[in-house]
Amino acid sequence: MKSCQNSFKLIIAGNKNVPAMVNVIIRATLQLRENEQDKNLTFRQVYIFHTEESLHALMSSPISWHEELQYYGISTTSLIHHVTKLEDLNDESFRDLVEQLRTIVNPLDNAHYYVDLTGGLSSLKAILAVFAYVLDIENIYSLEVQFSSDFEERKRQINLFYRQLEQKGVDIVYRKFPPIRKFDEFGKRNYTEILRHRQIINELINNLACLLSPEFDFDLEYLQTALLSGVNFRLLGEVTEEVSNYRHSVFSFSAGVEEVANIILRILEKTIENKTLGQKLGEVRDLFMSNPMYFINEDVLKHLTRLTAEIRNDIVHPSSVKSKSGEILAIEAHLSSHLASALLQFAINAITSFLDQDGKLVNVQILDPQQDTEETLFYFGFDGDSTGRYLEVAFSELNLDESEVLKRSQTIRTAIKDLSNLIKKRTKDNNCVFYAEGDNILFKARYKCLLINEIQRVYKERTGLCSSIGYGKTLQEATIALRLAKAKRGDSVVGVSITK
């Protein structure tokens, strides 16, 4: 079955020699037709990364390059021009180029990319080659023209278009680069992919280190080493296909998970000596599931901890006498990697939300509004629930055009604006609202049950969505209260008080 024409895209570097640049587009198109066995096939988009000089040369060219493209059935409307400034390569120009490349690649679009490395600056060709490697692009080509050795004839030939070169019998080869997948094995063996994971892991651990009290003296270096070792063994398993590497990977990730559990239990002032990984994870789970004070999705924590322990136990104490296949062990190694990362992020997002400036766990008390007088001033945080989903549905499920998304976005903006005015009116204080943007409002007022109920009722009438409200006497209390409220379902309201 032939691929759809809409799925083909060509990426090339610009060239101050306009015929040479146009010849690349023509030859790449002919190669596409040959590969797909369709003489009428063309690229839907041709992305040209110009320097300012090559763009100017193309746009001001006195020769009719449009006619050459049309001769081969290539529409000039398919050309998309990007301008890069790589003559003096620096971080800013490189980031700009990467961002332009990122806009081309849509992960939801099942596109087939062709990359041509014939022309352009050496730095640009190198970047495009790396880009092709990262995306595992199969079709990478370079146009090689055997020009005449005679100087004057060569000057004439380099300004000829593709069909003119063919008519003059000039040797033309469109050479395909060999498969680059072997570089993937090389990269894994030489830890290039580990460097990518190291950046992610380091960022997570640094975030955790900034929030923990120094008095605990956690061995975060050990945690980092365990997680990176897990990545290393998993990648080695993919290259060597030795099942022992996958087992070592699971053991390393499990050691990392155990250290995360140790951190959580020590923060909660629980003992960790003489306990197995399963026992520690079970205690973490029980502590949070039995304590409603803390911001935690119980189901997520339950799945994380149980699946982590079961995979590790399955490696240590296999239930079957038959040895496992490499494919199953590879899946378990991948799962262990994601579970360890998820549990580390849980420790950062959930636990550290309740640490004070000294890294100590605060004591959160849920407020009973019935016991508070209406004379007490509170900070209130309002947050609309499932707003992102509300906008996403218009595209992904309802298959509507962008006007529906704009309509829904305007509905939320209008609702927030009206709620801000409503709060000011009910409180008789035009300065009580500090923030009202997106689907969030922050205001300060006395607790009035009728006002809280009216805010949530109006928001639901306008948008069809539920909302969460958290309140406290300080901004920290209101922030924690809002997290707790959003962990509940429906129109939830939570107030908290923090005591030392």
Q: What is the DSSP string of 333-394?
A: HHHHHHHHHHHHHHIIIIIGGGB-TTSPBPEEEE--GGGS-TT-EEEEEEEETTHHHHHHHH
Residue 228 scores a pLDDT above 60: yes
The pLDDT assigned to 485 comes to 83
Q: By the 8 A CB rule, do 344 and 261 touch?
A: no
Average pLDDT, the chain: 82
Q: Alpha helices, DSSP H only, in 81-219?
A: 91-104, 122-134, 151-157, 162-167, 181-189, 192-211
Name the more confident of 400 and 353: 353
Instruction: List the Cα angle 351/353/356 in 5-degree steps.
Output: 100
What CA–CA distance (Å, rounded) separates 414 from 461? 12
Name the DSSP class of 474: S
Both tokens of 60, joined, read 């001001």
What CA–CA distance (Å, rounded) separates 366 from 472? 10
Q: By the 8 A CB rule, do 122 and 153 touch?
A: no
The pLDDT assigned to 1 comes to 39
**Mean of the pLDDT values across residues 53-75?**
90
Both tokens of 212, joined, read 């923990």
Residue 177 scores a pLDDT above 90: no
The pLDDT assigned to 412 comes to 86
**Highest mean pLDDT out of 179-183, 350-354, 423-427:** 423-427
Q: By the 8 A CB rule, do 99 and 124 touch?
A: no
Query: Sheet containing 45-50: which strands, arranged edge to edge?
Result: 79-83, 45-50, 8-13, 112-116, 139-146, 171-176
Overall size of the chain counted in residues: 500
Strand 440-446 versus strand 377-384 pairing type: antiparallel
**Mean of the pLDDT values across residues 399-424?**
81
Q: By the 8 A CB rule, do 316 and 322 touch?
A: no
Of 76, 59, 101, nearest to 25 (Cα)? 76
Give residue 125's Cα distance to chain centre.
26
pLDDT digits (tens, 9 = 90+) for 13-44: 989 999 999 999 999 999 999 999 999 999 99
What is the pTM for the complete model shown? 0.52
pLDDT digits (tens, 9 = 90+) for 109-168: 667 899 999 987 777 888 888 888 777 788 999 999 999 889 999 999 999 999 999 999
Name the more confident of 468 and 386: 468
pLDDT digits (tens, 9 = 90+) for 346-375: 777 766 666 666 666 677 788 876 655 567
Give residue 438's Cα distance to chain centre.
22
The pLDDT assigned to 380 comes to 95
Q: Which residues contact 261 (CB under 8 A, 6 or more apart)?
A: 272, 277, 280, 281, 284, 343
The pLDDT assigned to 160 comes to 92
